[in-house]
Amino acid sequence: MRTELITVLDMDSREEALRAVELCATCQFFKIGSQLFTRCGPEIVREILDMGRKVFLDLKFHDIPNTVAKAAKGAADMGASLFTVHAIGGRRMIEAARVAVEGTETKILAVTILTSLSDEMLRLELGLPETTSEAVVRLAKQAVESGAHGLVSSPHEIVLVREAVGLKPLIVTPGIRPAWSTGKDDQVRITTPRQAAEAGANYIVVGRPIFKHENPAEAVRLIQEELV
């Protein structure tokens, strides 16, 4: 299995995003999240697809099954290759999303527990009795059983998640910092592209290390080189 790079377009404008896609000439796959989507809408997805690239739409749907199914169909109709839902939305929500994308090329990724949440927050704020790792494993299994094609996983949970769901589901991993990158930003538990690939990630998701580099095209090349 070859691990593929997805470059993050966390920008505020169409111009910045399209310039970034042009700069990252050797990258085929780009992530559009709430930041860019709330500024530019589906049009930016269309423009990036028209540039011959693939799109991961990271809007983390979490709503009643009917609404998520409609949004899933919207993502598929837009031509997104991947999009996210929150696993905590439950089985029926993911089953409905799966029915909605059946017959298309679009795949569903489930987000388990946000890495911004600690064990203590899970217990005190969400009322869950488990540790984050226990909750990640339980929700990952449930999401895949309900029809998710894959999971978003922190780098340090890739092995745990692989053990829980087996080899077939896709694992997509943010929190990547190449050894040459200058800082961790707000990422706490990080790994290099190579470590994430060796742990079994199908895709790594990288943003700031690429765009903080003086030559983003070179940063992309260096990351892709680690993945070969």
Judged by CB under 6 A, the residue of 79, 89, 175, 216 near ligand C5P is: 175
The token pair that represents 42 in the structure block: 């589906």
Judged by CB under 6 A, the residue of 17, 29, 32, 33 near ligand C5P is: 33
Angle at 38 between CA 34 and CA 41, to 5 degrees: 110
- 39: contact with ligand C5P by CB under 6 A: no
Angle at 202 between CA 65 and CA 5, to 5 degrees: 105
> Cβ closer to ligand C5P: 36 or 93?
36
Catalytic residue check, 73? no
> Could you give the string, one character per residue 70-109, with x where binding to ligand C5P holds by CB under 6 A and - elsewhere?
----------------------------------------
**Straight-line distance from the first to the last Cα atom of the chain, in angstroms, rounded to the nearest whole number:** 10
Phi then psi dihedrals of residue 151, to 5 deg: -140, 150
Burial of 1 (0-12, 13-18, 19+ CB in 10 A): exposed
CB of 177 to ligand C5P, least distance (A): 8
- 185: contact with ligand C5P by CB under 6 A: yes
- 191: contact with ligand C5P by CB under 6 A: no
Neighbours of 23 (CB within 10 A): 16
By CB under 6 A, name the binding residues for ligand C5P: 8, 10, 33, 115, 152, 154, 174-175, 185, 187, 205-208
